[in-house]
Amino acid sequence: MDYMYGPGRNHLFVPGPVNIPEPVIRAMNRNNEDYRSPAIPALTKTLLEDVKKIFKTTSGTPFLIPTTGTGAWESALTNTLSPRDRIVSFLMGQFSLLWIDQQQRLNFNVDVIESEWGQGANLDALASKLAEDRGHTIKAICIVHNETATGVTNNLATVRRILDDLRHPALLLVDGVSSICALDFRMDEWGIDVALTGSQKALSLPTGIGLVCASPKALEASKSAKSVRVFFDWNDYLRFYKMGTYWPYTPSIQLLYGLRAALDLIFEEGLDNVIARHSRLGKATRLAVEAWGLKNCTQKEEWFSDTVTAVVIPANIDSSEIVRRAWNRYNLSLGLGLNKVAGKVFRIGHLGNLNELQLLGCLSGVEMILKDVGYPVKLGSGVAAASAYLQNSIPMIASRI
């Protein structure tokens, strides 16, 4: 039998989808409504304004599309570019690979800059390509902010600096699926033209909303872009924005109420505090990995992700067996190694509405699994390293009593 029920709650530590907080679940526990009634447009108006805050933009225009991150990718591309447009895209892991595949299938001329998996985007190569492009044939730069397959975070501020230094007008399109609402992200300050994320990641919602935010420059580009788009066409949304009804198609009513509750939780904690919490959890996880005597797939500290850690396993152990045993024996969900790192790494997701004690429970489970598969881990070593760091880094919080 491939599946057997495990007692207790599933411990979900993949890098998305993530655990859903109880207030969000309760907010979504409601019947359907007429989305053209006065209630839903009023709700949508507040959501659109508040979503801008998580992108850190005042000038961007957000779109809440009933889709996944993949649909948000397509929306970003087809609304700003025309077939055969030349774009530069970075390949450094499974999700950047999938976005490049989409770009090619949409008939764009994709100039791929490839890095070894575990390394960040090669920004020196980008600078060279842009410097050589005196005719400005490159129309867009596409980059995954946080490559979930390898736990690599790229420096978007440096990408913007390169574009500005060379006075290159290319659009900057960013996949922030596993970064926005968890890592430092500044759409306006970094001059990002299209940013996107998915509801099932740091927002801690079910899958089903692709959140896209477009700069004024991107909206202007959409007026002349000739890519075919229907369901993802921003113009349809903008027309209904002006009408005050907001929805050209049927939205997921329950997810909208869930998004309201999720944003309220983030704002109650404070977005900067949310980002700092993810930084602490990421550091604690990396200290545990080090205490176990294992290596991070990410090759330099400057690229370390605070939302996912990809752990390299000795060659005599199949990391897929670690993930399988975690599920079967401990009801613990860990991330598989994907594509080039399949069987070589397993991934610990530490993003969303998550606290220190939950993470320590996951790390304890990982230690038991490592012992199960024959790795000579000292039980408690990683938990001790992580908890010692967390004990000294948790900010003082006012009593709730």
| Each residue's pLDDT tens digit, 110-124 | 999 999 999 999 999
Evaluate if residue 398 carries a pLDDT over 50.
Answer: no
Residue at a domain's end among 244, 267, 290: 267
Band of residue 1 on the pLDDT scale cut at 50, 70, 90: very low
How far is it, in rounded angstroms, from Cα 251 to Cα 182? 25
Q: Are residues 240 and 298 in the same domain?
A: no
- With a pLDDT cut of 70, the percent of the chain lying above it is 97
Q: Are residues 242 and 284 in the same domain?
A: no
Residue 291 and residue 149 share a domain? no
Mean pLDDT of the 96-110 span? 98
User: How many DSSP H helices and E strands does the chain contain?
Assistant: 13, 14
Q: How far is it, in rounded angstroms, from Cα 44 to Cα 10?
A: 33
Map residue 173 onto helix, strand or coil.
strand
Cα angle, residue 259 at apex, residues 210 and 192 outer, rounded to 5°? 45
Which of 317, 345, 322, 318 lies closest to 333 in space, CA to CA? 322
Q: What average pLDDT does the segment 353-358 reach?
A: 96
The average confidence (pLDDT) of the chain is 96
Q: Do 137 and 107 sit in the same domain of this protein?
A: yes
* Domain tally, the chain: 2
For residues 112 and 79, state if they share a domain: yes
First to last CA, the chain: 48
| Res. 317: pLDDT tops 90 | yes
Return the pLDDT at 166. Answer: 98
SS3 call for 68: coil
Tokens standing for 223?
């007026």
- Output the CA–CA distances (angstroms, integers) from residue 47 to 1, 223, 262, 345, in the order listed: 45, 25, 11, 38
| Helix or strand holding residue 25 (H, E) | helix 22-28
User: What b/e string do you get for 204-220 counting C-beta neighbours within 10 Å, with b at 16 or more?
Assistant: bbbebbbbbbbbebbbe
**Both structure tokens of 370:** 């490592």
* Mean predicted confidence (pLDDT) in 354-382: 97
Mean predicted confidence (pLDDT) in 77-89: 98
400 pLDDT band, cuts 50/70/90, is very low
Instruction: Please check whether residue 31 lies inside any domain of the structure.
Output: yes
Do residues 211 and 255 make contact, with C-beta atoms less than 8 angstroms apart? no
Name the band, by pLDDT with cuts 50, 70 and 90, for residue 393.
confident
Residue 111 lies inside a defined structural domain of this protein: yes
Per-residue pLDDT tens for 11-67? 999 999 999 999 999 999 999 999 999 999 999 999 999 999 999 999 999 999 999
Choose one of 267, 296, 330: the last residue of a domain. 267
Q: Distance (Å, rounded) from C-alpha 152 to C-alpha 142?
A: 16
The dihedral through the CA atoms of 380, 381, 382, 385 has a sign that is positive
Long-range contacts from 193-196, C-beta under 8 angstroms, 24+ separation: 193/80, 193/140, 193/217, 193/218, 193/221, 194/76, 194/79, 194/80, 194/218, 195/55, 195/57, 195/60, 196/69, 196/72, 196/73, 196/75, 196/76
Residue 258's CATH number: 3.40.640.10
- pLDDT at residue number 8: 82
Tell me the pLDDT band of 198, cut-offs 50, 70 and 90. very high
- Binding-site positions read 347
Q: What pLDDT sits at residue 4?
A: 63
Tell me, yes or no, whether 285 and 256 share the same domain: no
Contact 202, 350 (CB under 8 A): no
Shared domain check, 374 and 228: no
Name residue 202's amino acid: A
In a domain, 228, yes or no: yes
Do 291 and 256 share a structural domain? Answer: no
| Residue showing tokens 């109420």 | 257
CATH code, 379: 3.90.1150.10
Residue 187 pLDDT class (50, 70, 90 cuts): very high
249 Cβ contact list (under 8 Å, min separation 6): 66, 231, 236
pLDDT at 199 exceeding the cut of 90: yes
- Which pLDDT score is estimated for 9? 85
pLDDT in the model for residue 3: 61
Same domain as 62, residue 163: yes
Summarize the annotated binding site for substrate as residue ranges: 347
Per the structure, the complete domain to which residue 103 belongs is given by 22-267
